[in-house]
Chains A and B, each alone.
Chain A
Amino acid sequence: MHQTDYARSSTLSPEMVETIKSVRASFLAGLGARLERLDALMDRSEEAPGEVLPRIEEEAHRIRGLAASIDYDDLGRLASDAEDALRSHSAARPGQRLGEDARRHVEDFLDEMDRILTARG
């Protein structure tokens, strides 16, 4: 069974550790559906980039804000990279298909979600 190493737990009260565990469990419970949704959006990103890329960016933004607070530091960092790449893309080439670099950032982000789900078993 995967043991969570709460890096900051020495500075947190037992109640806060429990809160983080609880939010982490909720996050994990919804992660599969989230990944499916994002995969489906990525599948449509070539045909309707103007519609789907802002939705992926929004999802990355949410995960960026939350992930590291519940000890998913790597996921938070990759979500942050993906969001920044998508934001730069939409500013420079609004409504157009993703460039190779931005696509790689989004795929790394989705791969990390997949890795977390796999590790959970």
Chain B
Amino acid sequence: MRILAVDDDQMLLDLLVPSMAHMGYTDVDTALSAREAFDIIMNAPQPYECILLDIQMPETDGIELCSMIRMLDDYKTTPIVMLTAMTDRAYIDKAFAAGAVDYITKPFDGLEVGTRLRIAQRMVEDRKAVTDKVFALNTLKTKVNEAYRFKRETAISIEDVPGVVDHLVLENYVLQLSRGQSFLSTAIGFRIVEFDRLFGSLSAPDLYYTLADVAEAISEQFRNSSFLMAYMGNGMYGLVTSRGDPAIGPELQDAVQGAVDAMELSTEDGIPCEITVATGLPQTNSIFFGSSAMAMVHAALDDVRHREGRIPGFAFRRPSDDAARLDAHAERLSRMT
């Protein structure tokens, strides 16, 4: 795997490069600034397969550089792993929103670096297998329906929708949330109703673009939030945001459906495609009966799995005084962790 490691501290690179070599990653270039890194990327004979970026660097920081790299066609899906001494959620959230897929906290040891690089390598391989199929189909339309289809349950990666990441990235993010941070998060599920019917009737490109359009309709509702969402397969989406996000409320279901309806979706042949999107109840972890942050996402998907759209009389729970008290407790806990 060809790797570019960027950090403004030469001594840190002196430590990092041998650590990676020890784990079998020997094809590594380094840069001491965002500017130097971007020059190297633009002049590289072959695109890098993984990029490690320090978040805090003078002038252009790692988050900004990450966004710039993501704009390049060759780097739409390249794993970008952030290196950070900052454990503040705000920094990490910004990095993920800018296109990072994982992060390593400094000070680090070689074992952690190796583990993270192996995850990145797996992402490259998994994503390549799925997205290659989807995009190859897009350009070779005639072969699409015969040669390649993704399975109903495949969590394909949706590109170019704000806040939408690969399901592995979302899982990585959630798994790395500390206990305290997970209490300050909410997961919510969305589902395309009668997805089986849609899956059976649409061509692979039509299906992909429908999934992307629905993702965009959901993403629009969270445009003022710091959130991450992924397509999880079977017509379902999982979204993680801050607890108390004002985007989550009684209007969300109608807002998402309204955005989908406004798109007037149709197949490439012009056949109208009516989509109903069900919105689940937000799921949080209890500080008293805490389970893993990933369980919260699974609970959100379980909740929406059988919903058929809007439920009469259905209302989202609003934070009560008790919930506000629990939030305050969770925040204190977060500061301690």
B72 to chain A, nearest CB (A): 27
Which of B15-23, B24-32, B235-243, B262-270 binds A?
Answer: B15-23
Chain B CB within 8 A of A61 CB = yes
Q: B132 interface residue, CB < 8 Å from A?
A: no
Q: Is A94 among interface residues, defined by CB-CB distance under 8 A?
A: no
Measured in the bound complex, the distance between the Cα atoms of B12 and A67 in whole Å is: 10
A58 at the B interface (CB under 8 A): yes
Say yes or no: A19 contacts B14, CB within 8 Å.
yes
A21 to chain B, nearest CB (A): 11
Find the B residue at minimum CB distance from A64: B85
Collect the chain A residues with CB atoms within 8 Å of residue B108's CB: 69
For the complex, what is the distance from the CA of A68 to the CA of B19, rounded to whole Å? 15
Query: Does B107 contact A76, Cβ atoms closer than 8 Å?
Result: yes
Report the Cα distance A11→B22, complex, angstroms: 12
A48 CB within 8 Å of chain B: no
User: Which residues of B1-51 are within 8 A (CB) of A?
Assistant: 8-9, 11-12, 14-15, 18-19, 22
Chain A residue, CB-CB nearest to B105:
A65
Interface residues on B, range: 20 to 34
A64 to B83, CA, bound (A): 12
Residues of chain A within 8 A of B85, CB atoms compared: 61, 64-65, 80, 83
- Asked if A66 contacts B58 (CB within 8 A), the reply is no
Whole-angstrom CA separation of A12 from B107 in the bound complex: 15
Task: Write the B77-115 contact mask toward A (1 if CB under 8 angstroms, else 0).
Answer: 000000101000000000000000000001111110000
B12 in contact with A65 (CB, 8 Å): yes
Q: Is the CB of A16 within 8 A of B11?
A: no
Kindly state the separation between the CA atoms of A82 and B14 in the bound complex, as whole angstroms: 25
Asked if B9 contacts A70 (CB within 8 A), the reply is no
The reply to whether the CB of A3 lies closer than 8 angstroms to some CB of chain B is no
Query: In whole angstroms, how far apart are the Cα atoms of A66 and B108 in the complex?
Result: 8
Tell me the smallest distance from the CB of B157 to a CB of chain A, in Å: 31
- The residues of A that contact B22 with a CB separation of less than 8 Å are 13, 15-16
**Once the chains bind, are B12 and A66 in contact (CB under 8 Å)?**
yes
Could you tell me if A69 and B109 are in contact, using CB atoms closer than 8 angstroms? yes
What is the predominant secondary structure among interface residues of chain A facing chain B?
Answer: helix
A15-36 contacts to B, CB under 8 A, are: 15-16, 19-20, 22-23, 26-27
Known A-B contacts A58-B58, A61-B85; the reply to A67 vs B18 at CB < 8 A is no
Binary contact track A60-103/B, C-beta < 8 Å → 1, others 0: 01101111111000001000100100000000000000000000
Contact A67–B56 (Cβ < 8 Å): no
B129 smallest CB distance to A (angstroms): 33
Inter-subunit contact B18/A66 (CB<8 Å): no
Residues of B within 8 A of A11 (CB): 109, 111
Interface size class of A (residues with CB under 8 A): 20 to 34
Q: How far is the CB of A103 from chain B (nearest CB, A)?
A: 21
Q: How far is the CA of A13 from the CA of B11 in the complex (A)?
A: 19
CB atoms of A19 and B18 under 8 A apart: yes
What residues of A have a CB within 8 angstroms of the CB of B19 in the complex?
Answer: 16, 19
Residue of B nearest to A70 (CB): B15
Residue of A nearest to B12 (CB): A66
Residues of chain B within 8 A of A20, CB atoms compared: 15
User: Given A58-B58, A80-B85 in contact, is the A65-B18 Cβ separation under 8 Å?
Assistant: no
Query: Given the complex of chains A and B, what is the CA–CA distance between A69 and B11 in angstroms?
Result: 11
Complex-state Cα separation, A61 to B14, whole angstroms:
17
- Selected contact of A64 from candidates B18, B106, B111, CB within 8 Å: B106
Which of the residues B15, B54, B58 comes within 8 Å of A69, measured between beta carbons?
B15
Question: Which 7 residue pairs across A and B have the least CB separation, nearest first?
Answer: A68-B107, A65-B106, A69-B107, A65-B85, A19-B18, A64-B85, A23-B15
B residues sitting closer than 8 Å to A (CB atoms) are 8-9, 11-12, 14-15, 18-19, 22, 54, 56, 58, 83, 85, 106-111
What are 23 residue pairs bridging A and B, where the CB atoms are less than 8 Å apart in the complex? A11-B109, A11-B111, A13-B22, A16-B18, A16-B19, A19-B19, A22-B14, A23-B14, A26-B14, A27-B11, A62-B8, A65-B12, A65-B54, A65-B107, A66-B11, A66-B12, A66-B106, A66-B107, A69-B15, A69-B106, A69-B107, A70-B15, A80-B85
Given A61-B56, A65-B9, 15 extra CB contacts under 8 A: A8-B109, A15-B18, A16-B18, A16-B19, A19-B14, A19-B18, A22-B14, A23-B11, A64-B85, A65-B12, A65-B107, A66-B11, A66-B107, A69-B15, A69-B109
